[in-house]
Amino acid sequence: MTASQPATFTAPETGSAATARAPIADDKAMLRAAVDLTRDLNTAKGSIYWPDMLGSALVGYALLAGAIVTDNGWVALGLGVVAVLALYRALLFIHEISHMHRDALPGFRTTWNLLVGIPMLVPSFMYEDGHTIHHARTKYGTPDDPEYLPLALMKPWSLPAFLLVSLLAPPALMIRYGLLTPLGLLVPPLRRINWERFSTLAINPDYRRRPPSEANRRRFILLEAGAAIWALVLFASIWWLGWRPLLVALAVFSAVAVLNQLRTLVAHLWENEGEPMTVTAQYLDSVNVPPPGLMAELWAPVGLRYHALHHLMPSMPYHSLAEAHRRLARELGADSTYLKANYRGMIPLVGRIAASTMVARK
């Protein structure tokens, strides 16, 4: 998932020093190996998906409840931090759902929406269509891609702005579902704007969502209605529970949003200026953070530490990516194109992108 927040971020001006680079040809040997070596890894295993998603959600909500009811500030903080990590992991299954065949793991998408998507006001329709465009071979990195901005070529202040705006995602989602959705029933133009601009987890502010297909329309309406009802319940909870439960929950969900935005920041190198890219160029503009580092499993869980590999094999379930990476690295060797998308961790990647904005500014 290049998961972020509704498309309300204003794109900073692109740096004047950005220059076009020579196109990168496809590495056909790598693309062929990616298919040939992983044919047996493409089945999603319910024995992994279900306990991982359910366990993450239940642990997250239990710790969130503990943070709400405890009177000890340090205990509340500790419980809140672990709740953020657990709920973040549960939330990122939206990325798997966007790639999952409709007949795979019956009931998983519905259960996720009921337990995670609607309670966190991020129902799966906010990712399903837009993320498909992000993986389209002719759309990635272009102005039509809802999940791409040339962040490495923008002004230096664009990076802190990109991160800070995510703090506002939870209250913005409450307004989107608890206020704009009911008003949209009375004001059709508002409903159209709400759908086009505030119904996709996008970072490209110019993206406008098309109407849903007939196959998805009823399901999307039900999910939106469920999120709207839950948002209204959250607003109403202030009158019978007071402010504390809602404020603590919003603080946890804001931390989840910021963590996800950090992951989004380092999921790609963001160096494309809008031209269509070959599959290999898309791969090299994306990021793997493979072992031995352990921290990446916390900030890029559910297979997202292998984000570049995911762009080679979008339909591969998250639990197979580590084995696919081992096979490809072993087969293709140390000098291969494949290993050029490997990085050590989040801090070096943030440093690289930040340094690029400094160059682009001159």
Report the alpha-carbon distance of residue 178 to residue 183 in Å, rounded. Answer: 9
pLDDT-based confidence at 7, cuts 50/70/90?
very low
For residue 18, pLDDT beyond 50: no
pLDDT-based confidence at 285, cuts 50/70/90?
very high
Say how many C-beta atoms besides its own lie within 10 A of residue 24's C-beta.
16
| Residue of higher predicted confidence among 303 and 1 | 303
pLDDT digits (tens, 9 = 90+) for 177-235: 999 999 999 999 999 999 999 999 999 999 999 999 999 999 999 999 999 999 999 99
Q: What was the pLDDT predicted at 62? A: 98
Q: Tell which phi-psi region holds residue 200, choosing left (phi > 0), alpha (psi between -120 and 50) or beta.
A: beta
Q: What was the pLDDT predicted at 103? A: 85
Q: What was the pLDDT predicted at 11? A: 34
Cα atoms in the 13 Å half-sphere on the side-chain side of 65:
6
pLDDT digits (tens, 9 = 90+) for 41-75: 999 999 999 999 999 999 999 999 999 999 999 99
Q: What was the pLDDT predicted at 19? A: 42
Tokens at residue 270, please? 């963001």
| Residue of higher predicted confidence among 362 and 303 | 303
Report the alpha-carbon distance of residue 164 to residue 121 in Å, rounded. Answer: 19
Instruction: Tell me the one-letter amino acid at 191.
Output: R
Report the alpha-carbon distance of residue 191 to residue 179 in Å, rounded. Answer: 11
Which residues partner with 338 through β-bridges? none
Average pLDDT, integer, range 21-27: 83
What is the pLDDT of the chain when averaged over all its residues?
A: 92
CA-wise closest residue to 253 among 159, 117, 128, 143: 117
pLDDT-based confidence at 23, cuts 50/70/90?
confident
- 3 state SS of 172: helix
For residue 255, pLDDT beyond 50: yes
CA-wise closest residue to 177 among 145, 216, 225: 225
Report the alpha-carbon distance of residue 201 to residue 90 in Å, rounded. Answer: 16
- 3 state SS of 178: helix
0.75 exceeded by the pTM?
yes
Report how far apart the first and last C-alpha atoms of the chain are (Å, whole number).
33
Percent of the chain residues past pLDDT 70, beyond the cut? 93
Average pLDDT, integer, range 283-310: 96
pLDDT-based confidence at 359, cuts 50/70/90?
confident
Tokens at residue 17, please? 């020093």
Q: What was the pLDDT predicted at 22? A: 66
For residue 3, pLDDT beyond 70: no
pLDDT digits (tens, 9 = 90+) for 331-348: 999 999 999 999 999 999
